[in-house]
Homo-oligomer: A and B are copies of this chain.
């Protein structure tokens, strides 16, 4: 084991601090961890819809606000919720201080709105620990070397929490969610979905990338890279959640269930491009332009070429669609079709590495129910299929029971 101090990092999302009562409840939760003898760092997102309201305001004063100013604006949301949470903890009689990302020593690169953390200088946090204070750090933000405020992009608060846990050599990083852990499928959709006790980083990464909303995949990657143990749990009760850690029992993979969970994502749109010249480098150029604009392309399917013209379909996040269309419309002599009536269902499991035939079984389960598969993508421990949005619930339930995941 590495040298782990008695430090725990807790992360609370925006809904957990959405109003005064929730803030007070979160304060109680933090104090409980503090009273168990831990030094506690808390990372918090902006309250409820605060960020959305700021984005809307920015859209009213400027058609395309600069990213530098957007970061200056949006970072106020986390700063405010951090200060309010610190007040609530102090009110209950415990030492506490809130710090902005910059004050907490979080140094990032210069990529506004999508910055990467370069380094965390934990001197200030350690000084506050010596004063016996809980430290609340505004999530999602840092400063660059010039002292300008940057934000970390999607999953920013999760990344702040994991990066702080790594820099502080915390025992683990506790991510609080509404649902209390990672399940074999969304418990709101599937009766008998079971909470998973432990997951490897790879499994959590595939689950997070394919739709599980409990933690952002960028944060899981960071945790894997820096070996930060994650505990994904509920902020409403004391029940153990799901632990994510190093390939804790690699030799036991054979005994693991074939698949761990079924996830889904209804936040993507399928974009199809017709009339693309079928010569080397064309696809690379196309996806290069999308990548330059920070658009995450998920599944890609290239059709067989016909008369020297190719057709490519891929999926993008719904919020990136208008930007993607803008970029594609600048390309000559192609036709773009958009299909928003899609959803992606995935099965994830380390066990499938050693069991051939999992994909075939998945396709058969869907075929047996006449659910058409429009696109497929795979990783060593994940298989994803794009289906019609109207069929997604049925697909999830069928796969969950078909692979024997139900209680």
Residues of chain B within 8 A (CB-CB) of A60 are: 20
Q: How far does the alpha carbon of A40 sit from the alpha carbon of B259 in the complex, in Å?
A: 63
* Contact indicator B98/A84 (Cβ below 8 Å): no
* Contact indicator B80/A62 (Cβ below 8 Å): no
Within the complex, what minimum Cβ distance (angstroms) separates A18 from chain B?
A: 12
Which of A20, A57, A66, A69 has most chain B Cβ within 10 Å?
Answer: A69
Residues of chain B within 8 A (CB-CB) of A73 are: 79-80, 83-84, 87
Q: How far does the alpha carbon of A217 sit from the alpha carbon of B324 in the complex, in Å?
A: 54
| A interface, over-half SS | helix
Q: How far does the alpha carbon of A279 sit from the alpha carbon of B54 in the complex, in Å?
A: 58
* Contact indicator B76/A90 (Cβ below 8 Å): no
Q: How far does the alpha carbon of A23 sit from the alpha carbon of B58 in the complex, in Å?
A: 11
* Contact indicator B20/A91 (Cβ below 8 Å): no
Q: For residues 90 through 111 of chain A, which have their beta carbon under 8 Å from a beta carbon of chain B?
A: 90-91, 97-98, 100, 102-103
Residues of chain B within 8 A (CB-CB) of A23 are: 61
Residues of chain B within 8 A (CB-CB) of A66 are: 86-87, 90
* Contact indicator A91/B63 (Cβ below 8 Å): yes
A147 lies within 8 A of chain B by Cβ: yes
Q: How far does the alpha carbon of A26 sit from the alpha carbon of B69 in the complex, in Å?
A: 17
Residues of chain B within 8 A (CB-CB) of A149 are: 100
The 3 closest A-B pairs by CB, nearest first: A76-B76, A73-B83, A72-B83
Chain A contacts to B: CB under 8 angstroms: 20, 23-24, 54, 57-58, 60-66, 68-70, 72-73, 75-77, 79-80, 82-88, 90-91, 97-98, 100, 102-103, 124, 147-149
